């Protein structure tokens, strides 16, 4: 329900003239953000603080690029939904061996 609302509100926001050009909202970006938002909500039902933290992490994760890595809020470990954090966790484990 909230995931769908987020998508429809972002698509309405996309229609504003001020959000065009470089860094604009695209349907692909909205879909990606909507998906991570849904994961953050569903996986943290019991705790509002964890849910809020996960939503913020999802936003920064979606805004990340190869030039500007923004994975500081993403969960650590090999079970993380963030590929960057999973890969860095695997590298740390290889170094410890």
For 4-25, the pLDDT digits (tens) are 777 777 777 776 655 555 667 7
Q: How many domains does the chain have?
A: 1
Q: Which sign, positive or negative, has the C-alpha torsion 65, 2, 35, 75?
A: positive
Q: Write out the residue range of the structural domain in which residue 21 sits.
A: 1-96
Q: Which helix (H) or strand (E) holds 23?
A: none
Measure the CA dihedral 64/70/73/74, to 10°: 50
Instruction: Determine whether 53 is exposed, middle or buried from the number of CB atoms within 10 Å of its CB (0-12, 13-18, 19+).
Output: middle
Q: Where are the alpha helices (DSSP H) in 1-97?
A: 2-14, 27-43, 48-63, 83-96
3-state secondary structure at position 33: helix
For 44-58, the pLDDT digits (tens) are 888 889 888 988 898
């Amino acid at each position: 329900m909230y995931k769908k609302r987020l998508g429809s509100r972002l698509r309405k926001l996309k229609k504003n003239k001020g959000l065009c050009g470089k860094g604009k909202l695209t349907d692909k970006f909205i879909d990606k953000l909507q998906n991570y938002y849904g994961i953050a909500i569903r996986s943290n039902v019991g705790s509002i603080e964890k849910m809020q933290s996960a939503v913020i992490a999802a936003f920064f994760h979606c805004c990340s690029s190869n030039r500007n890595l923004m994975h500081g809020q993403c969960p650590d470990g090999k079970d993380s939904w963030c590929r960057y954090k999973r890969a860095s966790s695997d590298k740390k484990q290889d170094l410890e061996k």
